[in-house]
Chains A and B, each alone.
Chain A
Amino acid sequence: MKDLVHTLYTLLAPWLALSLLLTGRNPRPSIRRILLSASLGLLILLIPLGKFPICRWIAMLEPNPSITLTALLAIALIARGGGRRFFRPQDWRAAWIAGSIAALILFPMGLGLTSLDPYAWGWGPGLPVATTALAVMFLLGGNRFGIVLLLCLIGMLFPPMESQNSWDAVIDPFYAFFSLIITALLVFRTPLNFVAPASPSGRGDG
């Protein structure tokens, strides 16, 4: 059962990402287009390549897509489909900045830069506590990225990934990569409107 949950979960993030890509750059795609993209995305992921479908080749590389990445992809896809725009620009900014900070803490030292290994914190209570504290901070500040962090906490408790480490619920190399790139763009004040353009009033409509 756990293997099935894990297999289905690893399919989710690539499917959402592919569906987003196939939807194209049209800012208001029709529901039909979205459904078509999602179906096509799923079909592509299930195409056999050798003994395995493409989705399992992706799972070979990344068997633990983070819950954060999966949630952000789902939020972006729902927003593109003209559904509820759950994340406002400030929520997206919080997601990218938090991802960048987590990436800078985790990856250089986790890959051996120092004798301190922050990845080991993910096996103890320290990281869940820190994630909760961060989620509380965001929620009290009215930032909806806190809800995504709460989803990560659920993922730490009932992991759909094969990893037992809490870090893998929070961050993965893809989320880290995009966070660092987008945060760098934010720092250099490049307009960030390709994921979730601000509503004319400047306020979220969720």
Chain B
Amino acid sequence: MFRPLTWILLVVACIMIALLLWDGKPAAGGFFVPPSKPSIETEKTFYKEEIINPSQHLPMVHVASLVDCGDGILTACWYGGSAECAPDVQIYSAMRGAPQAAWSQSYSVMTREQAQRDLMRPVKSLGNVVLLYGPHNTLRLLFVTIAMGKWSGSQLNLCTLFKPDGLHSPAKRLTISPFFNFSELVRNRPVETVDGGWCVPVYQEFLGKFPELLWFREVRGKIAYQKTRIAGGCTSFQPSLIPLDTNHAIALMRDFTDMRRIFLSRTDDGGLSWTKPMPTDLPNPDAGISGLRLSDGNLLVAYNDSTIDRSNLSLALSHDGGLSWKRIAVLEKEPNASFSYPFLLKTADGLIQMAYTYKGQQIKMASFNESWIREQELVAGKGSTP
């Protein structure tokens, strides 16, 4: 009786496997590098600083992210509350309608209660957030919820903040780790992919601390995702992805060793495989960094130029694809203060926008153009001349 049944089951298995192979799953690999607006050598230098959330008086705000929504509209997001991992943490947003316009009042876009309702389960707190814009003018929020404990008990969730048809979708949990889906976090700028999706740098901090990439794509109107790994172990995490072209990119990473250096890894196959992360000559006090590629091909990184603390925030430039770095500017410096988690974004108008946590209580924004960077490099070069 079992033998004919066995054969029936085998045929069923073959049919199912054919269906599974036919079913469209996202294929990772390939960065979309938009044609950058050429920087004009004689362009007037531009530099502007402002506080995004001047009227927000919270004991703690942290981890700002930005997204260019087109037509000069810039949206920022961050989390804030009484303390990290506290139940009252909310995710806030603010919008700027034009480069010279003021930022809107900050407003809450996700609370713990809302996340609990959407996910239909208890949530202890909220955390890091990044924004994804497009396709079809859709603005999505990729954010961390903490189920238990601290960051090691965190998970990633995706929801739609804005859609032209006005239909907001509730948050959905993303399952990207095999062990109770612990502990995946997001922090740095997503990169568009050649198939119209995104590649989001993520990281795990549970047993190890290591960098990964989360690939999103819309498949038949639904978001499909998969994850690839940059490196394993417990040496570097919080990758900042800098695509050089479709197949080539570098990832700069926060250090978790005693070396106290920014780590760098490379890919030559669109992010599918990566070289072993190696320390650069830039210091890192176990703090977040952010990098991007300028229109002339040089690389810019924002980082804490220290092996001890976050009391300064600096910029460095690389002319050789990350092999060597030159310090060009110190944006913040104050003993015992903290300037951390820079987030760099190049907007369509060619300006470089940098949001960061200012003394743990405000989100500060620096906007500058490439002429200003060139000027800073010249000044730094003169300063280092004996």
Give chain A's interface residues, CB within 8 Å of chain B. 3, 7, 50-52, 56-57, 59-64, 106-107, 109-117, 119-120, 123-125, 128-129, 132, 135-136, 139-140, 142, 146-147, 150, 153-154, 156-157, 161-165, 167-168, 171, 173
Contact = CB atoms under 8 A, between A and B. Distances in A.
Interface residues of B, number: 51
A62 B232 contact: no
Interface in B127-168: 147-148
A11 to B, nearest CB: 12
Interface of B: 2, 6, 9-10, 12-14, 16-17, 19-21, 23, 25-26, 116, 120-123, 147-148, 172-173, 175-181, 204, 206-210, 212, 224-234, 274, 276
A115 B229 contact: yes
27 contacts: A56-B120, A56-B121, A60-B148, A61-B148, A61-B180, A63-B173, A64-B175, A110-B179, A112-B204, A112-B207, A113-B232, A114-B232, A115-B231, A115-B233, A116-B229, A119-B178, A125-B21, A128-B16, A128-B17, A142-B2, A146-B9, A150-B9, A154-B16, A165-B176, A167-B178, A168-B178, A173-B180
A111 B122 contact: no
A115 B232 contact: yes
B308 to A, nearest CB: 27
Report the 5 A-B pairs with minimum CB-CB distance, sorted nearest first. A112-B208, A163-B175, A123-B226, A110-B178, A117-B229
A-side interface mostly: helix
Contacts of B19: 157
Given A63-B175, A107-B178, A156-B20, A112 B232 contact: yes
Contacts of B178: 106-107, 110-111, 119, 165, 167-168, 171, 173
A132 B12 CA distance: 10
B225 A164 contact: yes
Nearest to B19: A157
Given A112-B234, A116-B232, A63 B121 contact: yes
